[in-house]
Copies of this chain bind each other. A is one copy, B any other.
Amino acid sequence: MSITDIAGIQATGGSVGIKAGGVFDAALVCVDEPVTCVGVFTQNKACAAPVKLSRAHLEQTSGAIRAILVTSGNANAATGAPGLAAAEALCEAVASSIGAKTDEVLLCQTGLIGIPFPLDAALPGVSSLASTLGSDASAGERAAKAMLTTDTFEKTVSLAKQGVRVAGMAKGAAMLAPNMATMLCVLATDAKVSKDRLDAALRAGVAESFNSMDIDGATSTNDTVLLLSMGTAPEPEAGVLEALVAEACMKLAKDMVLDAEGATKACIITVRGALTDSQAHRGARKVATSNLVKCSLNGEDPYWGRVLSEIGTAGIECDPELVTISYGGIAVSKSAVAIDHDVAGVRAHMAERWIDIDVDLGLGSGTASILTTDLGHGYIDENRTTS
């Protein structure tokens, strides 16, 4: 599973001196001729220099791109004008090393916020990164590894259907919240599709996956998801590319939840029976962002009263008398009171890595799910200081 599974994609990863001790901190994805690229970016108003620059480059080139540079260890966010200049210098270095124009290079960065980007240290390594590009699996694996920050494993995907393939890689292990969060994702497909269709497929896939994930309610300054189309495979039937992109995004999103900083549990919270999908989404997100619910997951305690209480304050239509709450498919509460149920079955489910909470509001047909995690000591230990 590697982005190099897509014919024509070259990749590499290595150390350019952003992180100490020769740890991989720069990935490069490259193609020989400009190809169509679409992107989805953070909605954070305090967005980072690489987000500003990549948006501008996509516009200037109408989405015809030669390379994507990903660096880790320093987010280059809240770094002001010097940060933007550093981002431009990084794109220039890549462009001249592969014979491209500067605006044909996109930039993704992740790491600590508010610390000047160490451009002088990184520039020589970035300039020579292209010399190690390859199109085999190990080249793709180097790239996937170089994206990581506090992640504990590489997140990659490669899926095919009806002669079309989508493959890619991602990083993300915290600040995973409304509308993405310190998460970067680079996908590619061999399918020949219009830019509009590519864009629509990516937006739909992101909405159902990365934007339906909430680890700690924080939305990063740097979130970026990019999708390249090589156009070497035939145009897929309606729905085929869309399904592949959605499945690829969901696979990577689940990897992020499993790897969330300090988490011991991954959880899918589904609200159904809402008046609308949007109300279901708001309810599920309210439960997913509840520290009390998340502590209960950590303690393997099916404390449905907290779930009901969060639904009651989610700002959506609900009547507690109509609500049914289930853990692992076993209903534990109906009409806002506890009901007899298979206690041992629930206990066994709570001990699993993936926990399912289902809230049926009994009002309509609106449904939505949010991926989240528990809240335990590990999250705090990882986030209490930057040192």
Contact = CB atoms under 8 A, between A and B. Distances in A.
Interface of A: 43-47, 77-80, 82-83, 112-116, 174-175, 178-179, 216-221, 289-292, 295-296, 298-301, 303-306, 308-313, 318-320, 333, 335-338, 375-377, 379-380, 383-387
Nearest to A222: B309
Contacts of A336: 46, 78-80
Given A77-B305, A83-B337, A116-B338, 17 more contacts: A46-B312, A77-B309, A78-B309, A78-B336, A114-B304, A114-B305, A174-B292, A217-B217, A217-B289, A217-B290, A217-B291, A219-B313, A220-B309, A296-B383, A299-B385, A301-B384, A301-B385
Contacts of A175: 292
A308 B44 CA distance: 10
A285 B377 CA distance: 24
Q: How many copies does the complex hold?
A: 2
A386 B47 contact: no
A148 to B, nearest CB: 19
Nearest to A292: B218
Q: Which of A300, A335, A336, A376 neighbours the largest number of chain B CB atoms within 10 Å of its CB? A: A336
Contacts of A220: 309
A383 B320 contact: no
A114 B333 contact: yes
Contact of A221 (B303, B312, B319): B312
Contact of A295 (B46, B292, B296, B379): B379
Contact of A45 (B45, B83, B114, B313): B313
Nearest 6 Cβ contacts at the A-B interface: A299-B384, A113-B305, A46-B312, A114-B305, A299-B385, A295-B383
Contacts of A303: 113-114, 386
Contact of A79 (B79, B114, B298, B337): B337
A174 to B, nearest CB: 8
Contacts of A291: 216-218, 291, 375, 379, 383
Nearest to A75: B305
